[in-house]
Amino acid sequence: MSQPESPSRVRQSRHARGAAPTLHDVAREAGVSLATASRVLNGSERKVAESFRERVEQAAAELGYTANVSAQATARGTSPVIALLVADIADPYFGLIAAGVARGADEQGLVVTIAITERDPAREARIVRALRGQRPQGLILAASRTKEPTDSDSDTARELAEYARFGGRVVTFGAGSAENRHVEIDNRAGAEELGRRMAALGYRAAIAIAAAEGVLTSDERLAGFRAGFESGGGAIDRVLRGDFRRESGVQAMTAALAEGVVPGTLVFGMSDVVAIGAMSAIRDAGREIGADIAVCGFDDVPSSSDVTPALTTVRVPLSEVGYQAFRATVDADWEQAALPLEVTVRASTPGIPR
C-alpha cells in the first residue's frame, strides 16, 4: 500500500512520476557512485574505466537522464547563460542582433535568455536586476543608451555595476563606460559618408527624423550626417523628434508634409524602420518618393531592399554585431573585429539632375 498503482518494474525512488531522474538514480541503476556517474556524464578530466562508463551511459539512456542545469550551476558556481536585453524583439534591428548572439551562444553551448525593455528605463532597471539573479556569464544590453541619464538610467547603471562587481561581464552598444566592454558601431562615420554621398547626388535640403535628443545612436547618426551633408553644401532644415519606430516616421513625416516640403528635399530617417514609415506617409500624402521627395535611412534591415523604391541606407552588419557582442561576453581577451558600414545607394535617392 506504500506504492499505489505502481507497475511492477517501477523504480522505488521518489520520482516515480513528476520528477526527472537524477544523477543519483543513474548511479544507483548503474551500481556506481555519484562521483563516477558525474564524471561520465557531465564532463570531467578524470578517467573512468570503459566498463563503468558503459554501464553509466546505458543507465542514463534508459532513464532518460539529463543533467539538471540549475543544480550544476549552483554546484559549479557558474551558470551557462547569456542574458540579452533588447528594446523590442519584433524589430528587425534587434531581431538580427539577437540572431547573432544566439549563433555565438550556440557555438559555446550557452543558453541565451532574452528580455524586452520596451524602451522603458524603469523596466530596464527592473529587468537587469532580475537577470542578475540568474548569475549569467554575460549580459548584453542592446537597448538604446542615452547621454544624460535619467534617474531610471542610473538605476540600470547601478544594477549593472553591481553585476559587474561580482564577476559578470556587461557588454553595451556604442560608447560604454571604461569598465564595460562595448561594441562600437561607427554611426558617425557611416552617417557622414551617407551625408556626403547625398550631397554629391545634388541634394541640398534635408529633413531629419531623429529620436529624442540624448539618445546616443540617434545623436551620432544625426551629427555625422550633418557633417557630411554640410561638407557637400547641403543643410538640414528641420530635425523632427520621435523614436526609432515606424510609427514615429509616419507621424514626423506627416507633420512635415503638413508644413510643406518642397520637391527635391531629402528625408533622412535615423533608422530604416523610421524611414519606411516616412515613405508611407509621403505616399499617403500623394507625393512621390524619389524624384519628388527622396528618402534615406540607416541599418539596411532586410525590408529596406523590398520597399519600392528601394531605400538608400547604410548597411550595418547587425547579425555580426550581435555575434561580436557575444564574443565580448565570453572571450578573455577580446578585441572588437572591424564592423564596416557601407553606404548603399538605392532608388529612393535618385539624385537631382542639374
Partner DNA sequence: AAAGTTAGAGCCCTTTGGTGA
Partner DNA sequence: CTCACCAAAGGGCTCTAACTT
Residues lying near its own copies in the complex (CB under 8 A): 15, 17-21, 64, 66-71, 73-74, 77, 79, 81, 88-92, 95-96, 98-99, 102-103, 106, 109, 111-116, 129-135, 162, 165-167, 246, 276, 279-280, 283, 302-303, 305-308, 319
Q: Is the CB of 74 or the CB of 308 nearer to DNA?
A: 74
For residue 82 the three cell numbers come to 547569456
Q: Is the CB of 35 or the CB of 291 nearer to DNA?
A: 35
- Which residues, in sequence order, are CB contacts of 123 under 8 Å at separation 6+? 117
Rounded to an integer, what is the distance from CA 212 to the centroid of its chain?
Answer: 20
Binding mask 45-84 for DNA (x = CB under 7 A): -xxxx-xx--------------xx--xx-xxxx-------
Q: Is the CB of 210 or the CB of 307 nearer to its own copies?
A: 307
Q: Is the CB of 49 or the CB of 258 nearer to DNA?
A: 49
Chain positions 14 to 43 lying near DNA, rule: CB under 7 A, are: 14-15, 19, 22-24, 31-36, 38-39, 41-42
Residue type, 338: A
Separation between Cα atoms, residue 241 and residue 269, nearest integer Å? 10
Q: Is the CB of 20 or the CB of 235 nearer to DNA?
A: 20
For residue 266 the three cell numbers come to 531629402
Separation between Cα atoms, residue 7 and residue 91, nearest integer Å? 52
- Sheet order of strands, 265-269 included: 235-242, 205-211, 265-269, 293-296
Smallest distance from DNA to CB 327, Å: 24
DSSP codes of every residue in 188-254: HHHHHHHHHHHHHTT--EEEEEEE-TTBHHHHHHHHHHHHHHHHTT-EEEEEEEE-SSHHHHHHHHH
Contact 204, 132 (CB under 8 A): no
CB under 5 to 8 A by kind: which of its own copies, DNA, none does 114 bind? its own copies
Reported as half-sphere exposure (CB side, CA atoms, 13 A), residue 137 has a value of 21
Q: Is the CB of 7 or the CB of 260 nearer to its own copies?
A: 7
Determine the interface stretch with DNA among 13-21, 92-100, 107-115, 342-350 (rule: CB under 7 A).
Answer: 13-21
CB under 5 to 8 A by kind: which of DNA, its own copies, none does 99 bind? its own copies
Residues that bind DNA in the complex, under the rule CB under 7 A: 14-15, 19, 22-24, 31-36, 38-39, 41-42, 44, 46-49, 51-52, 67-68, 71-72, 74-77
